[in-house]
Structure 1
Amino acid sequence: MTTENTTPTPADRVLDAALLHVPFDGWSETTLRAAIAESGVHEALARSLFPRGGVDLALTYHRRGDALMRERLAATDLAALRYRDRITTAIRLRLELVEDKEAVRRGTTLFALPTHTADGARAIWGTSDAIWNALGDTSRDINWYTKRATLSAVYSATVLFWLGDDSPAHQATWEFLDRRIEDVMQIEKAKAALRDNPISKALLAGPMKLMEKIRKPDIPDDLPGKMMDRFR
């Protein structure tokens, strides 16, 4: 499944074919070979799109889910919701867009391997970044990092719970998510209390001054290799 209102790219065609094999062979070289044969995409092009084989297939699948989530969020009116409810809605939407839970389960297993944990962490961070950007986050200081780090923890914990949840309509997962969001809110309240406390304010004056210098990364969009995105 491609993002809405788009023509399938070569990467889409390979990925769509791969999804039929992932439940049986995982995100593996075996799956990639079968997908290339069935998609009709030239092997040289497919190999250039997925140079690391199964792990690049899994990452492309994850990014597709993020793209679909962004489209749905853009079409959803969130104005009447509290910010915490907007975040809950985004996470829930991201998971509800998954058509095959086994594909996510296989990906979780793959990214648990020491050789791919960094890829998995970047994928989760990317989802959190996509959610915050979709919700209109404009922070450029240390809050840019803390928001995404906190959301990454909430999202990854929710995914793991969701994978084992067999309750009707995943109701147990949404209750779990609500509890995790509430935990974060309690942390934010504690942080606010520290900032308002004269003693802690004095003790933290030095570290806070240093943290004020931290800025979000500005990543150029014209780096070598970006041209390949048109095929993805």
Structure 2
Amino acid sequence: MTDTVPDFADMTLDELKVALAPDIAASAIFDGWNETALTAAAEMAGCDPDVARLAFPGKGSQLAMEMIEAWIDSIDQAMEAEWPAERLTELKIRERIRTLVAFRLDAVADIDEAVRRALAVMAQPQNAARALKLGWRSADIMWRLAGDTATDYNHYTKRAILAGIYSATLAVFVNDDSEGKADTHAFLDRRIDGVMKFEKAKAQFLNKDRELPSLTRFLGRLRYPAR
């Protein structure tokens, strides 16, 4: 929420979605991700509720996902503004990823219940595919900000792994009663450390300069043991 009222009349519907998203999330704490939250958010922001409904035309679960997607978009945009790629270059890869995920956690630190309700909506069978797409998109943005330029299978595995880490961290986050969400951040650190160790081991194994044993020679020795 901001101190100045934005000029909603000059916004496109996509811009309006993102502008209203933080207020919708705040309302979802009490009302859930539904039309009541949308109306309350519009009134809170000083936007005509009828105009807000044009930006979010869905009903029921579809409306909930439209609002959640806009909320995720608003966090993505805030993250990109706060941590542009050039600012992250001073950090090691591990710290770049941790910083970006931590930013996202801090962005929703005071609205745990909105996150909990959003995760429940995204877990519904009819929303699973869209939820996976949103997780992938956020992971892609984080890796691009971190400087990743992979175009081979690593491009996909990195994003799939990070999306999984982020999803698991959010599950811990909504049930974390520790001060400052310390348990959540400790969980995040352990998961990232595990991935970094795996990536290091994989890189060593796939190193083209590493002399690998000949498979033909190995099979030959099985058939004709050395005396």
**Scaled by the length of structure 1, what TM-score is found?**
0.74
Deviations 1:165-195 (A, max 9, x none): 1111111111111110111123223323432
Where structure 2 has 5 or more consecutive residues not aligned to the other structure, the ranges are 217-227
Residues 7, 40 of structure 1: alpha-carbon distance in 2 compared, 3 angstrom cutoff: closer
Residues 56, 201 of structure 1: alpha-carbon distance in 2 compared, 3 angstrom cutoff: farther
Alignment partner for residue 57 of structure 1, among 50, 58, 67? 67
Q: Distance in 2 between matches of 1:176 and 1:138?
A: 27
The runs of at least 4 consecutive aligned structure 1 residues that moved more than 6 Å come to: none
Q: Distance in 2 between matches of 1:166 and 1:83?
A: 29
> Percent of pairs identical after alignment?
36
- Which residue of the partner structure matches residue 47 of structure 2? 40
Matched positions, count: 198
Alignment partner for residue 91 of structure 1, among 89, 101, 105? 101
Q: Partner letter of residue 166 of structure 1?
A: D
Deviation at 1:27, TM superposition (A): 0.7
Q: Partner letter of residue 110 of structure 1?
A: V
**Scaled by the length of structure 2, what TM-score is found?**
0.75
Q: Distance in 2 between matches of 1:13 and 1:93?
A: 19
Which runs of structure 2 are paired with 1:1-232 in the superposition (5 Å)?
Answer: 1=1, 9=11, 10-12=16-18, 14-36=20-42, 39-41=46-48, 43=50, 45-52=51-58, 53-74=63-84, 77-98=87-108, 99-195=110-206, 196=210, 198-199=212-213
Where structure 1 has 5 or more consecutive residues not aligned to the other structure, the ranges are 203-232
Higher RCO (CA 8 Å, separation ≥ 6 residues): 1
Secondary structure in structure 2 of the residue aligned to 1:21 = helix
User: RMSD across aligned C-alpha pairs, in angstroms?
Assistant: 2.7
* Structure with bigger gyration radius: 2
Residues 148, 86 of structure 1: alpha-carbon distance in 2 compared, 3 angstrom cutoff: same
* Native 8 Å contact 1:32 1:54 kept in 2: no
Q: Partner letter of residue 136 of structure 2?
A: W
Deviation at 1:21, TM superposition (A): 2.6
